[in-house]
């Protein structure tokens, strides 16, 4: 699964890459505008860890933009920041982030949170597949009902003809 790391600080960017590389196909962006371009070009739901304070576009701005468009709305967004007040957490989650992790972070906790994001995306994908299969079954059922009604309509005149003879 693809994971976007949007972090302008080189130390944290490298740390995130080191912590997450073994499990994920990483894409790296050094600012918010580059991260937004990557998100739009991938064309698939993905996981993204976005820093709050970045040049070009902040993490919360990126979250709001992602939620506004159908092809990026399904991205699982983890906001990563040194901001740790309750008001900041509420504002970050209110911008559309799915999770909120403060710096400095514990690598195992971050991995666990990213795995949760992956699991959510996988479950959403399974649900979409099941909905598509259900829709197909419903369409077949509708077609069969129509065919049964047509056969019954054809059978009534034949039955009436046999009864009158």
Percent of the chain with pLDDT over 70: 94
The per-residue pLDDT of the chain, averaged, comes to 91
Residue-number span of the structural domain to which 8 is assigned: 2-126
- State the pTM of this model: 0.81
Beta strand residue intervals within 88-159, DSSP E: 99-102
Q: Is 75 inside any structural domain?
A: yes
Domain assignment present for residue 84? The answer is yes
Residue 152 reports pLDDT greater than 90: no
Q: Is there a domain that residue 99 lies in? A: yes
Question: Cα 96 to the chain's mean position, in Å?
Answer: 12
| Strand-pair category, 99-102 with 47-51 | unpaired
Residues 16-69: pLDDT tens digits? 999 999 899 999 999 999 999 999 887 666 899 999 999 999 999 999 999 999
Q: Is residue 31 part of a domain?
A: yes
* Residue 18, in any domain of the structure: yes
Burial 111-150 (b: 16+ CB within 10 A, else e): bebbeebbebbeeeeeeeeeeeeeeeeeeeeeeeeeeeee
Evaluate if residue 159 carries a pLDDT over 90.
Answer: no
Number of domains in the chain: 1
């Amino acid at each position: 699964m693809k994971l976007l790391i949007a972090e302008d600080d080189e130390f944290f960017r490298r740390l995130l890459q080191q912590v997450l590389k073994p499990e994920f196909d990483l894409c790296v962006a050094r600012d918010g505008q580059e991260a937004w371009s990557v998100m739009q070009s991938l064309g698939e739901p993905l996981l993204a860890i976005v820093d709050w304070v970045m040049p070009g576009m902040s993490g919360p701005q990126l979250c709001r933009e992602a939620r506004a468009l159908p092809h990026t709305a399904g991205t699982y967004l983890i906001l990563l920041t040194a901001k740790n007040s309750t008001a900041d957490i509420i504002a970050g989650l209110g911008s559309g982030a799915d999770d909120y992790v403060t710096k400095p972070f514990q690598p195992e906790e971050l991995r666990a949170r990213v795995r949760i994001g992956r699991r959510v995306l996988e479950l959403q994908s399974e649900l979409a597949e099941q909905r598509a299969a259900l829709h197909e079954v419903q369409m077949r059922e509708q077609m069969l009902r129509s065919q049964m009604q047509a056969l019954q309509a054809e059978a009534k005149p034949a039955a009436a003809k046999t009864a009158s003879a």
